[in-house]
Amino acid sequence: MVPTNDESCFPADIMLTRAANGQCNPSRPLINLLIQARNGYDWPAGTGAVQSQQTILNLEAKVRAYLANLTPASAHAIVEAISLWAGNNANSHDQIVAALPVQQVQMQKAISCLITPGQECIGIDALCTLPGISLVIASKIFRFCSPNQGAAVDRHASYFFNSLQVVGGGAATHFVREWANGRHTTSRLAIYNQSNYAYNKTEYISAYLPILACIAQAMNAGVALYTCAARKIQMNWTPADVEMAAYYWWATNGVR
């Protein structure tokens, strides 16, 4: 089992302070790290920040169009497009592509929950019962269907926040991670049995998403905006933007 955190990967003074009212205040070095990482987001590495970020904008627009007339077919199209963008493994992606009509109906119902306040957890659970969809892919579907509330989690983002220290409160999150098998040299989010799935889904909903929202709020309130490479303008932060910055920084700087 890999360690759950490695704060030594961060430069000095990367931390959050949690106020008595629950507000999380990022340190100035953390603010700078997130801005730089979000400005330069370039994944897969070497794609180029403009192209990489434009691809995400294009997918956001495509999902918005599908959501405007959500049917089983458009729900299936949303899941398939996000699975492809996310680099879902070939077997899982093929299962999504081959979804039966009844499964496409389930996708529609699940996505309807994702975009309904208070029903997000129901939507995540419903997606994860379908072939080819793990918690990682379900969180990415939530990210694109509701970018002002949702955000993705995977091994890079989970390690970033597992390692991010909160003054007076330990680590920001406590996701469980594991080795895939003996042939793998990197760890993954532990979601492949019911116990680990339930634990990490709860951590995703109750700890991770609130911290991302809190950081985004603090960044916007402090006028610490980021510059979108594709749009070439400064932008307010959403939880998804915080996740993108954290993902990209850890993918290029953190342990695996």
pLDDT tens for 63-110 read 999 999 999 999 999 999 999 999 999 999 999 999 999 999 999 999
- Predicted confidence pLDDT, tens digits, the chain (256 residues): 455 677 788 999 999 998 877 788 999 999 999 999 999 999 988 999 999 999 999 999 999 999 999 999 999 999 999 999 999 999 999 999 999 999 999 999 999 999 999 999 999 999 999 999 999 999 999 999 998 999 999 989 999 999 999 997 788 999 998 876 656 567 788 888 899 999 999 999 999 999 999 999 999 999 999 999 999 999 999 999 999 999 999 999 987 6
Q: What are the extents of the domains in the chain?
A: 13-253
CA angle 119, 121, 151 (to 5 degrees): 105
Q: What's the token pair of residue 69?
A: 């007339």
What is d(CA 143, CA 215) in angstroms, rounded to the nearest whole number?
A: 16
- Residue 3: the pLDDT is 55
3-state SS, residue 134: coil
What Å distances lie between residue 207 and 46, 66, 173, 210, 250, CA to CA? 32, 30, 6, 6, 19
